A and B are shown apart, each in its own frame.
Chain A
Amino acid sequence: MATKIDEEIDVLPPKGVRPPIMGPGHTLGTVTDRIGGIVLTKHTPIFWLMIVALCVALFGMLNTAIAYLIGRGVGIWGVNIPVGWGFAIVNFVWWIGIGHAGTLISAILLLFKQGWRTSINRFAEAMTIFAVMQAGLFPLLHTGRPWLAAYWLFPIPLTMGVWPQFRSPLIWDVFAVSTYFTVSFLFWGIGLIPDFGTLRDSAKSLVVRRIYGMLAMGWRGSARHWNRYETAYMLLAGLATPLVLSVHSVVSLDFAVAVVPGWHTTFFPPYFVAGAIFSGFAMVLMLAIPFRYLYGMQDFITLRHLQNCAKLMLATGLIVAYSYSMEMFIGWYSNDKFELGLVHNRLHGPYSHYYFVLIFCNIIAPQSLWLNKIRSTPWMLFVVSCIVQTGMWLERFVIVVLSLNRDFLPSSWGMYWWTKWDMMTLIGTMGFFTLLFFLFIRFMPAISISELRTLLPQSKVKE
Chain B
Amino acid sequence: MITPEPIYGLMAEFDNPTDLVHVSKAAFAAGYRKMDTYTPYPVEEAAEAVGAHHNRVALVCLIGALLGMIGGYSLEYWVSAISYPINVGGKPFHAWPAFIPVTFECAVLGASLATVFGMLALNGLPQPYHPVFNVPGFSASSRDKFFLCIEAQDPRFSPGDTRKFLESHHPIQVSEVPY
Contact = CB atoms under 8 A, between A and B. Distances in A.
A182 B113 contact: yes
The binding surface of chain A is classed by DSSP as helix
Contacts of A217: 120, 125-127
A202 interface: yes
A250 B101 contact: yes
Q: Of A176, A235, A459, which is in contact with the most chain B CB atoms at under 10 Å from its CB?
A: A235
B157 interface: no
A28 B40 CA distance: 9
B63 to A, nearest CB: 12
B2 interface: no
A28 B143 CA distance: 7
The binding surface of chain B is classed by DSSP as helix
B46 to A, nearest CB: 5
Interface string B92-117: 00010011011011101101110110
Contacts of A187: 112
Nearest to A190: B116
B126 A179 contact: no
A200 B139 CA distance: 9
B38 A218 contact: no
A198 interface: yes
A113 interface: no
Interface stretch (B83-91, B159-167, B168-176): B83-91
A345 B50 CA distance: 69
Contacts of A453: 40-41
B142 A229 contact: no
Contact of A220 (B41, B109, B120, B130): B130
Interface in B37-61: 37-47, 49-50, 52, 55, 57-58, 61
Q: Of A165, A202, A223, which is in contact with the most chain B CB atoms at under 10 Å from its CB?
A: A223
Contacts of B130: 218, 220
A32 B41 CA distance: 12
Interface stretch (A76-84, A155-163, A272-280): A155-163
Contact of A167 (B50, B80, B133): B80
A218 B105 contact: no
Interface string A144-175: 00000000000100000111111101011001
Contacts of B104: 242, 246
A461 B21 contact: yes
Interface residues of B, number: 67
Given A226-B39, A250-B101, A461-B21, A29 B115 contact: no
A186 interface: yes
Contact of B79 (A166, A183, A221, A458): A166
A439 to B, nearest CB: 23
A228 B45 CA distance: 14
Given A186-B112, A221-B40, A236-B112, A175 B123 contact: no
Contact of B42 (A172, A198, A202, A229): A229
A412 interface: no
Contacts of B26: none
A243 B61 CA distance: 15
A186 B116 contact: yes
Contacts, number: 196
Contact of A246 (B83, B99, B101): B101
Given A32-B144, A222-B36, A459-B17, A450 B111 contact: no
B112 A228 contact: no
B52 A224 contact: yes
Interface in B119-172: 119-120, 122-123, 125-130, 132-133, 139-144
Given A219-B125, A228-B122, A182 B109 contact: yes
B42 A454 contact: yes
B47 A236 contact: no
A207 B139 CA distance: 17
A454 B108 CA distance: 29
Contact of B119 (A165, A176, A190, A221): A190
Nearest to B122: A228
Q: Of A27, A163, A240, which is in contact with the most chain B CB atoms at under 10 Å from its CB?
A: A163
B86 to A, nearest CB: 7
Nearest to B81: A166
Contact of B143 (A29, A163, A165): A29
A236 B117 CA distance: 12
Contacts of A450: 40-42
Interface in A185-228: 186-187, 189-190, 193-194, 197-198, 200-202, 217-228
Contacts of B42: 226-227, 229-230, 450, 454
A25 to B, nearest CB: 15
B108 A459 contact: no
A216 to B, nearest CB: 9
Q: Of B18, B39, B42, B55, which is in contact with the most chain A CB atoms at under 10 Å from its CB?
A: B42
Contacts of B140: 201
Contacts of A194: 41, 142
11 contacts: A28-B144, A32-B144, A165-B86, A179-B108, A198-B40, A201-B139, A222-B37, A224-B55, A231-B58, A454-B41, A461-B21
Sort A-B residue pairs by CB-CB distance and give the 6 closest, nearest first.
A218-B127, A28-B144, A217-B126, A201-B139, A232-B119, A226-B42
Given A167-B80, A175-B102, 16 more contacts: A32-B144, A172-B105, A175-B72, A179-B106, A218-B127, A222-B36, A224-B123, A226-B43, A229-B42, A231-B57, A231-B119, A232-B119, A236-B112, A239-B112, A240-B112, A246-B101
